[in-house]
Chains A and B, each alone.
Chain A
Amino acid sequence: AQRVTQPEKLLSVFKGAPVELKCNYSYSGSPELFWYVQYSRQRLQLLLRHISRESIKGFTADLNKGETSFHLKKPFAQEEDSAMYYCALSTPQLTFGKGTKLSVIP
């Protein structure tokens, strides 16, 4: 069965520091992965999809099939990045990780 693991429930970093939110997946097929973000009092919204290999709001994520990972990275954290981040695997239904709360300290 498919599974998405986000090992960190909470991640606190200082403004300007690099950020890495970890995501590992388990799936026997060809994975299709996404990162979703939920800012305070806002709806869940799509941040990144692995297939488009894009950078959104300075965030990037690379699919590593050997390590079954899809970590989210940003070189310099900003206060406005504080939010809940969810990694999701499409099979095609979305399976979500438990989420990581990112807190950027001014």
Chain B
Amino acid sequence: SAVISQKPSRDICQRGTSLTIQCQVDSQVTMMFWYRQQPGQSLTLIATANQGSEATYESGFVIDKFPISRPNLTFSTLTVSNMSPEDSSIYLCSVRLAGASSYNEQFFGPGTRLTVL
């Protein structure tokens, strides 16, 4: 498995501001993902963070709203831009480990609980 940390663990933000969430992994990973879990809902994939290139976004998510960086194999950031109350959610970082024995399984960080007022 892997140890995945996220910062901040929670934040309360004002409408119109932006928040950057960091994800750090202690192992070599092949893929990093960002998910959103809205209150009472399941997890929705926002994007795949690609090292050294633009992230791959899922339908309904755009780079201007959720810019993502991945400067190396073990670190990524997600920014939630120009926030509105609808962005209140838990944002989760997820990784797939390098190595043949990983079976494509993914591990999840503890999440960042964002509240937008």
A and B together in one complex: yes
Question: Which of A20-28, A55-63, A66-74, A91-99 lies at the binding interface?
Answer: A91-99
A86 CB to nearest chain B CB (Å): 7
- Interface Cβ pair total, 8 Å cutoff: 44
Flag B70-108 by CB within 8 Å of A: 1 or 0 each: 000000000000000000000010101000000111111
Q: Which residue of B lies closest to A34 (CB)?
A: B105
B105 near A46 with CB under 8 A, answer: yes
Question: Which of B16-24, B37-45, B61-69 lies at the binding interface?
Answer: B37-45
17 A-B residue pairs with Cβ-Cβ distance under 8 Å, sorted by A, are A43-B108, A44-B43, A44-B92, A45-B107, A46-B105, A46-B107, A49-B105, A52-B103, A92-B31, A92-B104, A93-B48, A94-B43, A94-B45, A94-B94, A96-B42, A96-B43, A99-B42
B104 near A45 with CB under 8 A, answer: no
Chain A positions 33-56 with a Cβ under 8 Å from a chain B Cβ: 34, 36, 43-46, 49, 51-52
Interface centre among A36, A44, A97, A98 (most CB of B within 10 A): A44
B108 near A93 with CB under 8 A, answer: no
Q: Name the B residues within 8 Å of A93 (CB-CB).
A: 33, 45, 48
- Alpha-carbon gap, A49 to B106, bound state (A): 11
